[in-house]
Amino acid sequence: MSRHTPTVPGLADMPVVRLGDQWWLVADRGSVPIADPAFSGELDQFAAAMTAANRAVAALRPSQNTDESDAELQ
């Protein structure tokens, strides 16, 4: 296990972070680079899906506020 613990934010509440082009499993005692390309690929896909979901939610927020303002005016 590596003593280098990446300081890049993790993926949701999962014990993984991406540092450069490498995913790492992170624990209290250290971190381990993920060497399995299939697992790294799944993490890449999950990260992309999370990013898309976060953007979709962020895009909804202004329109919801506008709808609420319009309802108050009527």
Instruction: In whole angstroms, give the CA distance from residue 29 to residue 63.
Output: 45
Q: Taking a C-beta distance cutoff of 8 angstroms, is the pair 17, 8 a contact?
A: yes
Q: Which tokens belong to 46?
A: 């999950």
What is the CB neighbour count within 10 angstroms for residue 33? 14
29-72 pLDDT tens trace: 999 999 999 999 999 999 889 888 888 988 887 766 555 555 55
Q: pTM surpassing 0.85?
A: no
Percentages helix, strand, coil for the chain (3-state, rounded to 5) are: 50, 20, 30
1-35 pLDDT tens trace: 445 444 445 677 789 999 888 999 999 999 999 99
